[in-house]
Structure 1
Amino acid sequence: MSVWDELVGQEAVINTLKGAVNDPSAMTHAWLLTGPPGSGRSNAARAFAAALQCEQGGCGTCQSCLTVLRGTHPDVTVIATEKVTIAIDEVRGLITEAARTPSAGRWRVILIEDADRMLERTTNVLLKAIEEPAPRTVWLLCAPSPQDVMVTIRSRCRKVSLRIPPVDDVARLLEERDGIDPHTAQIAARAAQSHIGLARRYARDEEARARRNEVLQLATHIRGVSDAVIAAGQLVDVAQTEAKAASAERDAHERAELMRTLGAEPGQTLPPALRSQMKQLEDDQKRRATRHQRDVLDQAMLDLLSLYRDVLITQLRTETPLVNVEHETFIFDLAARSSAVDTLAKLEAISSARKRLSGNVAPLLAVEAMMVALRPASH
């Protein structure tokens, strides 16, 4: 057992990070770990942090390894936002933390997941700390690609790129670690397009698989503009409902905790001097819900991309395996009713919708435009 066990299909990355742990001359003060969603970049960063603190280079069983992986090591600070952006005040706190000497471990490790969610002014605050780090401080930044991080930051980091692991490797991990039967593991790994976390969710959560199938079925119900508008509204409503359900209990707990901290009883009206703190919490919760809604919609769009990808390779008669192999009949039907040119146009429409969503276009407008473009082409 070691901290590297769950990094499937990333042998080159593991060798690079192990080399830095074992050879001081290969170590540097700042790292940028990049890779597509699901490639395991955050897991790689946590494994690296654990290996840096471990006397055996990442055994996975000692106190140092276990506390890092559980998020309780005193010398490893992790920032992971559930909001749209990482706040500038959070980064200022990291700079103060990074200047301290390690209290129990070998290194002071600062790990920023979603480093691409820092605005330019936030990134500028971080620049000097990365340029002139404390002697035993290591910065680990994670992002989808180097281009998602400002050039002034990425030029000062050693870059490590993760790839999407093979489907068979992900399926094998689900079988060995989670006890999933081989057939379900294969379907889940393909449906998740090798995104390890999503594959585990599909393998273990029947409702998640059902929701994904409903998204794919949207393609069969669109016949005209009115159908497209209705389908878009349904998809956005599902995303909003899921976002609220995911955060309702947590929001209530956070509100109760803040009321207790402020010395107020539940339901009591706060005095004006304390209302700003409650408003700040409510604003943070709204931003978190917004991000969750966008993430749900983006995943739905990725699912539709996988569907039309399967349709295209069927139309081109290639031997590439289908992602949605359990929907083979449905895919063949869509392929027979359109041309490869039509399918390429639909793929482009979905990709454009993803870009609009990431650019803060109103979700309903972005999804409506996409659904209208998914209508059957008239010849």
Structure 2
Amino acid sequence: QHPVHAYLFLGPAGSGKRRAARAFAAALLCRNDQCGTCRDCVLTMSGEHPDVSEVERVGAAISAEQASEIVRSASFAPVESNKKVLILDEFHLLNASAAARLLKTIEEPPAGTVFCVLADQLVPDLITIASRCVRVPFHSVPDRLIADALIAAGIGEEVALEAARAAAGDLDRARLLATDSGLVARREAFASVTHRVNGSGTRVVEIIEELLALIESASEPLKARQANELAELEIRVAQTGERGAGRKALEERHKRELRRYRTDELRAGLSTVASTYRDRLVQGLEGRRGAEDAAAVDRIIEAIAHLERNPNETLLLQALLLSLPPI
């Protein structure tokens, strides 16, 4: 009933920060004692409420220009409610100039404005903003809990366990993977990379084409869900006569979701590749081969980190795979 001006939801990707932020915003805006079913609750949980702004980075990082737009958005009065909520996503990718531009607004926002800052980790450029927020910690969801949730939703136990392991603590991702018939094939394809690379550019091109085709196919369940969301939006528009940028905003969110899904797939796949080298290191190999395997793991970890910057996938994979030693 008496929220503070700013919260920092801090925890790994897939730990439920975005869903929790929407639920918190819905509770603030609901006029029926947090009912979960009224118009305010439904629109907030679907990301379409006019008094809830969800901000995601446009480029490789949250820029000063984007920060200025956030400040401007915060200055507007609520449209339908007595409060306004700004959900700022991926703020572990905030640059220093953007942080400086946002600090005063987050520290002293307009009356009725509440910030929910979401970040995977507390990076140096976020520390000062974090000191002005109430920190709410989030943690990865254990595989067993994810599997149990999938089983309760009617997914077979074997499929649920496989999806949970591949989801890296992300329940939403696990729900998609549980309906993905190509999950096992993708995991096997990435696991085979270390046995197929041989320093040949032609071989690397073949491997990359195969991996990216599998990832493209993997996005079909997400695209089907997004098509349903668009259809539901059209029904609501027809029933309520709502106008505005609802469809455009939803389409933009869908693009971001697809990009994030591809990034998650590449991250999971490259982690599988790294595990094959780690397994051999565990066997106690020393000398040149052990050093090569350790260096390969370091290069894969570096490539995974670069995924946050939306690189050209083909070029990233080409540079990486050409550098990997065969097993």
Q: Does the alignment reach a TM-score above 0.5?
A: yes
Contact 1:75 1:108 in 2 (8 A): yes
2:14 maps to 38
Query: Quick check: 143-152 or 291-300, which moved more?
Result: 291-300
- Give the one of 271, 274, 281 matched to 1:305: 271
Code of the aligned partner of 1:347: V
Whole-Å Cα distance in 1 between the matches of residues 12 and 53 of structure 2?
23
- Give the one of 40, 59, 73 matched to 1:97: 73
Code of the aligned partner of 1:309: S
1:264 maps to none
Deviations 1:292-346 (A, max 9, x none): 67973663243232454377468748xxxxxxxxxxxxxxxxx9xx987665443
Contact 1:294 1:357 in 2 (8 A): no
* Corresponding residue SS for 1:156: coil
Code of the aligned partner of 2:129: I
Query: Quick check: 183-192 or 117-126, which moved more?
Result: 117-126
Contact 1:236 1:297 in 2 (8 A): no
Question: How far off its partner does 1:166 sit?
Answer: 0.5
- Give the one of 82, 101, 117 matched to 1:125: 101
Deviations 1:211-253 (A, max 9, x none): 4442333233123444663356436864997899999xx9xxx
Code of the aligned partner of 1:202: L
TM-score normalised by L of structure 1: 0.63
2:324 maps to 374
Question: Are positions 1:61 and 2:37 aligned together?
Answer: yes
Question: How far off its partner does 1:56 sit?
Answer: 6.5
Whole-Å Cα distance in 2 between the matches of residues 93 and 243 of structure 1?
34
Q: 1:113 to 1:135 in 2, by over 3 A?
A: same
1:76 maps to 52
Code of the aligned partner of 2:298: E
Q: What is the root-mean-square deviation in Å for CA atoms of aligned residues?
A: 4.1
Would you say how many aligned residue pairs link Structure 1 and Structure 2? 295
Q: 1:239 to 1:180 in 2, by over 3 A?
A: closer
* Corresponding residue SS for 1:109: strand
- Give the one of 271, 294, 299 matched to 1:349: 299
Deviations 1:178-230 (A, max 9, x none): 43222211110111222222212211122455444423332331234446633
Q: 1:205 to 1:194 in 2, by over 3 A?
A: same
Whole-Å Cα distance in 2 between the matches of residues 28 and 307 of structure 1?
45
Deviations 1:95-119 (A, max 9, x none): 2332344444352111112224444
Contact 1:49 1:109 in 2 (8 A): yes
1:9 maps to none
* Corresponding residue SS for 2:192: helix
In structure 2, runs of 5+ residues without a counterpart are 227-251
Deviations 1:6-46 (A, max 9, x none): xxxxxxxxxxxxxxx5xx3xx42111212222112111211
1:200 maps to 175
* Corresponding residue SS for 2:13: coil
Q: 1:148 to 1:163 in 2, by over 3 A?
A: farther
Contact 2:194 2:326 in 1 (8 A): no
Q: 1:72 to 1:171 in 2, by over 3 A?
A: same
Code of the aligned partner of 1:107: K
2:112 maps to 136
1:296 maps to 262
Code of the aligned partner of 1:51: A
Q: 1:354 to 1:43 in 2, by over 3 A?
A: same
Code of the aligned partner of 1:180: I
Instruction: Report sequence identity in percent.
Output: 28
Whole-Å Cα distance in 1 between the matches of residues 66 and 214 of structure 2?
28
Q: 1:65 to 1:241 in 2, by over 3 A?
A: closer
Whole-Å Cα distance in 1 between the matches of residues 315 and 175 of structure 2?
32
Q: 1:193 to 1:183 in 2, by over 3 A?
A: same
Whole-Å Cα distance in 1 between the matches of residues 280 and 91 of structure 2?
38
Q: 1:182 to 1:358 in 2, by over 3 A?
A: closer
2:24 maps to 48
1:109 maps to 85
Deviations 1:51-76 (A, max 9, x none): 22235664423333222112232322
